[in-house]
Chain A
Amino acid sequence: TQLLEQSPQFLSIQEGENLTVYCNSSSVFSSLQWYRQEPGEGPVLLVTVVTGGEVKKLKRLTFQFGDARKDSSLHITAAQPGDTGLYLCAGDRNNQGGKLIFGQGTELSVKP
């Protein structure tokens, strides 16, 4: 059973388009993290959201944590080819920091 459902698994868009990636769960998380992973590398942390309803922005990326702390979204505005990569959400259920539950990931391809 997948505790953290991430969708879509694959996304191919044109440069300049917007996109949203979703992570959903029936469980409450003390925090949720978004990572980006390049081929041959480990995941690199983009942002951590902690408070229900929290919104964080990182340049063209907007991260939101659901009010009930069960879901999160990543929105990219005006995607660029450099945004291509694997995006992962990961939840911390018990405020344990590094013990994370990962979603399956979203493989994003942005074509010029």
Chain B
Amino acid sequence: EAGVTQFPSHSVIEKGQTVTLRCDPISGHDNLYWYRRVMGKEIKFLLHFVKESKQDESGMPNNRFLAERTGGTYSTLKVQPAELEDSGVYFCASSRAQGSSTEAFFGQGTRLTVV
């Protein structure tokens, strides 16, 4: 079974440009989560999809961030326009169900650098 995969693994863009990150969850996992770790800080929750619906987007920093999950399969996270403080590692995770006993599997992350 393939794990959670994220593309690209690294991205370097200039301030003001647009970047789109992609996450392919484990097949059959309805729940998909985006997290972000900025330099020197803890990993923070961004949002949660259940299938194609946004269940919780309370962690999204501002309206420059747009997440989609059309068809309930892969998800994209677009940052437009990117700012310097958006630099960090963006993780995607997926799980089959919700609840404390459910394991969420993480992708390897996308390291975004805005210069």
Contacts and interface: CB of A to CB of B under 8 A. Distances in A.
A98 B104 contact: yes
A31 B100 contact: yes
B7 interface: no
Interface residues of A, number: 27
A105 B40 CA distance: 10
B43 interface: yes
Dominant secondary structure of chain A at its interface with chain B? loop
Contacts of A99: 33, 45, 48, 56
Interface in B16-49: 31, 33, 35, 41-45, 48
How many chain B residues sit at the interface, stated as a range, is: 20 to 34
Nearest to B43: A102
B100 A95 contact: yes
A42 B35 CA distance: 11
A72 to B, nearest CB: 13
Nearest to A50: B100
Interface string B85-115: 0000001011101111111111111000000
Interface of B: 4, 9, 31, 33, 35, 41-45, 48, 56, 91, 93-95, 97-109
